Structure 1
Amino acid sequence: MAKPENFKLINLAIQGGGAHGAFAWGVIDRLLEDGRIHLEGISGTSAGSMNAVVLAYGLLVGGREGAREKLRNFWQDVSKSGKLYNPCQQLPWEKFWYGNNMEHAIFYQMFQAMTHWFSPYQLNPQDFNPLKDILEANVDFDRLNDCQITKLFLSATNVRTGQVKVFRTEEITAQSTLASACLPDIFKAVEIDGEYYWDGGYSGNPVLFPFFYHVESSDIMIIHVNPIERSAPPMLPSEIFNRVNEISFNSALLKEFRAIDFVHKLMDKDWIKEEYKEKFKYIFLHSVSADKALADLSAASKFSSDWDFLLMLYNRGRAKMSEWLYRHFDNLGKRSSVNLDEKLVKK
């Protein structure tokens, strides 16, 4: 297929956030539908890793339309599985009264209490995870390992060292994808080659640094799932927990923003010695923000697998990406559409 005249090459970084990953699905679907953007590299964490591997595999076997279909099938399977295995489902009257506010659901409250008193080694000794079957049904990982049309980078947190582990295309399996999404209060640590891993959100949500070294494109588009800013301080216990969750899963990303901002200043002020300049890349950073799009949702709703809820998030993601394309597409390859000083890196 011929490339569009205004074809752009970028790298995509997809945050994790449980069911809120359906917002990222909507963003990706609209990006694929638009057709003007090609993905040189894809980085993902947790639910972002799920989106990343399904996206890459779909592109590999069916191009853009194949990727869109694969992503829809994946999220439909997540919803169907949730009807059988999700311990946090809302009762009909709870959904009527509270909408998507899962923190009021009795089963959610019971589940949260149990995770504070019992570990997954007690609650789930067989380490059952329905996502494993869903991943293997939607992705042929042997074929994915040979993918040449894009580069994959999935992050997980090494339990022993506390450091981020980045799995590259040829290393990615269902197991490493599950490692990237392993919340330690719900699932046992995932063992890979003698090391144990937890959710990548603790150390990189998502990681950006592979794009500094392993790709040519200077553009990085981040799909946010965890709001960086909230308009008011939390007051209720559930609100405090939600905000702690968001801050924790944004902290590593904000550190990478600061590093990018620092290098930008060195380059702008010509403070880098001539012999080292070629080792640095000027990054053009772009953000599909969740601050307003997901402002009405708490962290508890990340446990919802209701199809209507996932579709709502999907539609919000599509709308947000449509807005971004209209306002910022022409910045690609030329400049950042995010001002780190003003918006993302608070002094």
Structure 2
Amino acid sequence: MKTGLILSGGGARGVAHVGILKALQEHHISITHIAGTSAGAVVGALFAAGHSWQSILNFFKKASLFHWKRYSSNKPGFIDTEKFYRDLAPYFPTDDFSILETKLFVTATNLITGTLEVFNSGPLIKSILASAAVPGIFTPISMNGNFYIDGGILNNFPTEPLLGRCDSIIGIYVNPLEDISMADLKHSYQVVNRAFQISFGNKCYSKFSDCDMVIAPRALNKYGLFQMKNIDAIFKIGYDSAINALKDYKYETRMKTQL
């Protein structure tokens, strides 16, 4: 049985993916295909290369996003994305999709053409970095004569690469809409920001029906994109949410479940 896994973007909240992977393994659910964007692309690539959830969690704990040595001096972004290459290189003995144990599809946004592109062959690490390059914070990645940024800009829940390829699809979405009150909407920029959150979220929610199971932990809404100090708490939320969902999920019958 071919089982696909969708891993959304979400910055630090992407660590919840790791906790969910642990739960899936404990339930003996084998993943054959992965489609990921942004943080989901990083987690997906590490998992597809055969690394354990412990190793992936340790990677995020060691990664220092805002170390001064990563700052960019002459590129469009505060952090030089390409400086993360050396962090990822030890995890991939050969920098190519062909070495992966699990089929992987990584999405990134082409800044030149304004289109979403899917990578599943050729150079691996640059594709991962391109997918995770949050615009304005991280510098775009140059590949094939184009600039690429975060795939989540155009598609933060990339089900499309796995449709028709898998018998069952499990979707993981780590960007729940934050709980707010009217008092949180006093200024125009707050209204605009909320409107964009709703718009981006709805595009993803509309594709939940592509999946046989969706895990979208609501408890993640109190953590920001770059709150790396909360890694253990985020990991636990992912794990607990998956364990909860899997109690009622009948793998063989592909029951639709959402948490």
Question: What are the ranges of 5 or more consecutive residues in structure 2 without an aligned counterpart?
Answer: none
Structure 1 CA distance for aligned equivalents of residues 69 and 220 of structure 2 = 22
Question: Which residue identity is paired with 2:216?
Answer: S
Note if 1:48 corresponds to 2:40. yes
Matches within 5 A, 1:1-347: 9-34=2-27, 36-58=28-50, 66-78=51-63, 81-82=64-65, 84-85=67-68, 121=76, 123=78, 127=80, 129-142=82-95, 144-147=97-100, 149-168=101-120, 170-213=121-164, 215-217=165-167, 219-228=168-177, 230=179, 232=181, 234-235=184-185, 240=191, 243-244=194-195, 246-247=197-198, 249-257=200-208, 284-290=211-217, 292-297=218-223, 301-306=224-229, 309-328=230-249, 330=250, 332-338=252-258
Question: Which residue identity is paired with 1:312?
Answer: A
Distance 1:288 1:242, change over 3 A: farther
Distance 1:138 1:120, change over 3 A: same
TM-score (norm 1): 0.64
Pick the structure with more helix per residue.
1
Question: Which residue identity is paired with 1:235?
Answer: L
- 1:23-82 deviation line (CA, Å, top 9, x unaligned): 111111221233x21112101110000000001112xxxxxxx4223212311222xx24
TM-score (norm 2): 0.84
- 1:192-251 deviation line (CA, Å, top 9, x unaligned): 1112211101111131111124x242x211111101474645425686576456435434
Question: Which residue identity is paired with 2:116?
Answer: V
Structure 1 CA distance for aligned equivalents of residues 103 and 160 of structure 2 = 13
Structure 2 CA distance for aligned equivalents of residues 140 and 220 of structure 1 = 29
Distance 1:295 1:303, change over 3 A: closer
> Following TM superposition, by how much is the alpha carbon of 1:304 offset from its aligned partner in structure 2, in angstroms?
2.0
Distance 1:141 1:52, change over 3 A: farther
Structure 1 CA distance for aligned equivalents of residues 69 and 174 of structure 2 = 21
Structure 2 CA distance for aligned equivalents of residues 133 and 242 of structure 1 = 34
Once superposed, what is the RMSD of the aligned Cα atoms? 3.0
Q: Secondary structure at the match of 2:99?
A: coil
Structure 1 CA distance for aligned equivalents of residues 69 and 186 of structure 2 = 25
Distance 1:332 1:154, change over 3 A: farther
- 1:295-333 deviation line (CA, Å, top 9, x unaligned): 333xxx211222xx10010011111111011122x1554
Work out the number of aligned pairs and report it: 255
8 Å Cα contact 1:228/1:247 also seen in 2: yes
8 Å Cα contact 2:97/2:122 also seen in 1: no
Q: Secondary structure at the match of 2:32?
A: strand
Query: Post-superposition, which runs of at least 4 consecutive aligned residues in structure 1 deviate over 6 A?
Result: none
Structure 1 CA distance for aligned equivalents of residues 191 and 85 of structure 2 = 32
Question: What are the ranges of 5 or more consecutive residues in structure 1 without an aligned counterpart?
Answer: 1-7, 59-65, 88-117, 261-282
> Following TM superposition, by how much is the alpha carbon of 1:161 offset from its aligned partner in structure 2, in angstroms?
2.2
Larger radius of gyration: 1
Distance 1:335 1:318, change over 3 A: closer
Q: Secondary structure at the match of 2:107?
A: strand
Identity of paired residues, percent? Answer: 26
